A = this chain, B = another copy of it.
Amino acid sequence: MKREAQVPLADASAVAHRSLLTQATTSLVGYRLRRAQLSVFHRFLMLFDDLRLRPAEYSVLVLIADNPGRKQTEIAEVLGIKRANFVTLVHGLAQRRLVERAASADDRRANALHLTAEGQAFVVRARALHDAMEADLVTRLGGPAGRDRLLSLLDRLT
């Protein structure tokens, strides 16, 4: 995880056999973006190891908690998940008794998603965990202003 050290040299083979010229890759927006995202997600995975919850699952649970009764497709689309792949995801959460798929009243094709009582308690715990992580990230970014600057910059890339 420690690169850098780009000495101004004409020929890399003339330099010591330890440092590589990496500025052509490591200085790229896409590359750094990926590394930062992997780092944050890795931290999430560590933190949620006990709860056996993945980032996508967490976002699904929170979204259902805030929008009970919505169809699978609606939740999936907001998160950019294909509905075919969303089936497996919801199935796992349903097996763990965190989510219920109720038959929708007005559309018999659709599954209305709700949290179970257990699911709601679970989300409270998960949210607390994640809020702590988020708070630490904000601190690293130099407070809410730094966070907002980052989000603003990220938006311009999308």
Please count how many residues in chain A sit with their CB below 8 Å of the partner chain's CB atoms. Answer: 58
Contact indicator per residue, chain A 29-44, by CB within 8 Å of chain B (1) or not (0): 1111111111111001
Instruction: Give chain B nearest CB distance to A60 CB in angstroms.
Output: 9
Q: Measured between alpha carbons, how far is A60 from B21 in the docked complex, in Å? A: 12
Residues of B within 8 A of A35 (CB): 80, 154, 158
From B33, B55, B62, B74, give the contact of A36 (CB < 8 A).
Answer: B33
B68→A12 contact, CB < 8 A: yes
Q: Measured between alpha carbons, how far is A75 from B59 in the docked complex, in Å? A: 35
Residues of B within 8 A of A33 (CB): 33, 36-37, 40, 154
Q: How many copies does the complex hold?
A: 2
- Docked complex: A136-158 residues within 8 A CB-CB of B: 137-138, 140-142, 146-147, 149-151, 153-158
Q: Measured between alpha carbons, how far is A28 from B149 in the docked complex, in Å? A: 13
A105 beta carbon closer than 8 Å to chain B:
no
Q: Measured between alpha carbons, how far is A67 from B3 in the docked complex, in Å? A: 14
B156→A20 contact, CB < 8 A: no
A118 beta carbon closer than 8 Å to chain B:
no
- Assuming the contacts A35-B80, A40-B30, A40-B33, asked whether A153 and B157 have C-beta atoms less than 8 A apart, the reply is no
Residues of A in contact with B (beta carbons under 8 Å apart): 1, 3, 12-13, 20-22, 24-25, 27-41, 44, 55, 59, 62-63, 65-70, 74-75, 78-80, 130, 134, 137-138, 140-142, 146-147, 149-151, 153-158
Sorted nearest first, the 8 A-B pairs with minimum C-beta distance are A36-B154, A21-B66, A37-B37, A140-B156, A150-B153, A39-B158, A33-B37, A30-B40
